[in-house]
Chains A and B, each alone.
Chain A
Amino acid sequence: MSKFQFPESIMSRPVYGTLEPRLGHAHLFVADAEGAEAILDLAKKDPGLMSSAHIIFIPRATGETYVEQLKALRPAQFYSGPSYEAALPRLRRVFSDASMGLQVYLSGTEGLMGQAQSEAMQAGIAPAAIQTEHRGSVARRMQCVHCKGITEDVMTDPFVCSHCGLNLFVRDHYSRRLAAYQGVCIDAEDPGNVPDPVELYS
């Protein structure tokens, strides 16, 4: 599938690139759903890299579509799990065992890449050692600035906070620490006056 080009926005909004093979003795891939395609593409550029690769994959709605293809790359280690939360203990263990030279490759949805990036940076990995490539859904991980609750996979603007029920406007203002965009109440001044939700980037 072709890659979605996000329009230019404020500085706060993360920008994503294309995964490129890098030098190093260990390579960690974290991907969800169509993010698998970015790994498959990279493996074509440098098949040798896979012998020192660890792939953590969360298929989400893609089910079994990519699992066998990724395994066929023969990475040193492969893990597939139902959710980011389920993969997190493993991710943390990889980071705690890792040493300098580890290259991190993140691909898939913004929510997945953002969370894994924040985890990597807390582990001391330099931002320069982390690459990202957006693939698949343009859904956003949103934080309600009022109740601080996180709503995953937001596809429309405005949307309803899954925690406090406020109608939230989707901003491009992004928190790297939380790996979430900020959602701000859209009808605070005139409660109930809520525009019809529009699908993001439609």
Chain B
Amino acid sequence: MSASPTKAKAGAEKISVVVSAKVPVNDLVTRFEFKRQDGGPFPTFSGGAHTVVEMNDAGRTRLNPYSLMSDPEDTETYAISVRRDDEGRGGSLFMHNFVNVGDQMNITYPVNLFNLDLRARKHLFLAGGIGITPFVAMSKQLDRIGGNWELHYGVRSAALGSYAEELSTKNPNKVHVYEDDKGEAIALEALLNGQPLGTHVYVCGPKGMIDWVRQTAKQAGWPDDNVHFEEFAAPQPGEPFEVRLCKSDRTITVGEHESLLEALEREGVDAPYLCRGGACGQCETDVIRHDGAFVHRDHWLEDEVKASGKKIMPCVSRFVGASLEIDR
């Protein structure tokens, strides 16, 4: 697979890799390992970093972010785990069905929007499902520097608990797994109230879990600075809409199943991005004029800014209405 010709210069710099392993972890999750095509070392990263994987899906470029789960100090291999989402936009299905050992791909340099606060006296990790992946890398990073961590991991069932067994065998005193099908759940309030001073909590999982943890931590009097979460929004389909691009001086249509960012890229317009999930702020774009309503899905813009109609995050947000003109 090669870079699509319309691919803009935006985003973090790319690394050409070859798929060195494709390992089924369970019915839903597959691990992909990459080596560099040029045989050189990968950059080290920090736990919590993600890479954006470029997929050439029958001429359509898909760019999906995945957390790196390999040892951050391992410069030979990068690993990601992909959960198959049958209802999703197709990126994960493409990875599962069409990417195989030996394939050549492009991935971006690691970008970290979910890093450890190393001033913490203790790191409390709360994972739900595939949200386990950043913590695999973080725990390896902390083990190397003697950091104090503890993991509470909610899984649907033992069979679907990616890496649960491996992690608990290696760290029997640090890892607590909760199996949903057995009615087990994290006793969150008690867990939070019992943490020593200087603890930071990190949560990665479904949106409902993130909201639950943030809300419970707030009620328990945890300062915001001590609560970290990774919330990638996947772009959602919606009614197609037209956008006038004032710098490029043309009008394009955003299709039902693509994001505004993807439409810009398809048209060869250089649009910046890093996370493609409404979290990093990189794609922020000025709205010149509009007649209609925004569907803001990012976690970046302040509510007042969203209400002002002056900005849009093209990676996840959409528009419904008569006309939209943006500064691209």
Contact = CB atoms under 8 A, between A and B. Distances in A.
Interface of A: 22-25, 95, 98-103, 123-126, 128-129
Given A23-B221, A25-B193, 18 more contacts: A23-B219, A25-B220, A95-B197, A98-B197, A100-B195, A100-B197, A100-B199, A100-B220, A102-B197, A102-B221, A123-B198, A124-B198, A126-B223, A126-B225, A126-B226, A128-B223, A128-B225, A128-B226
Looking at B197, B198, B220, B226, the one whose CB has the most chain A CB atoms below 10 A away is: B197
B218 A99 contact: no
A32 B202 CA distance: 37
8 contacts: A25-B193, A25-B220, A100-B196, A101-B220, A101-B221, A101-B222, A126-B226, A128-B223
Contacts of A103: 221
B281 to A, nearest CB: 22
Interface in B195-221: 195-199, 218-221
A24 B221 contact: yes
Contact of B223 (A25, A95, A129): A129
B218 to A, nearest CB: 7
Nearest to A120: B197
A42 to B, nearest CB: 15
B192 interface: yes
B193 A100 contact: yes
B226 A101 contact: no
Contacts of B196: 99-100, 124
A18 to B, nearest CB: 18
Contacts of B223: 126, 128-129
A46 to B, nearest CB: 13
Nearest to B220: A101
A51 to B, nearest CB: 15
B225 A22 contact: no
Contact of B221 (A22, A95, A123, A124): A22
A95 B224 CA distance: 20
A22 B225 CA distance: 15
B119 to A, nearest CB: 9
Interface string B208-249: 000000000011111111100000000000000000000000
A101 B199 CA distance: 10
Contacts of A101: 192-193, 220-222
Given A100-B226, A101-B192, A124 B197 contact: yes
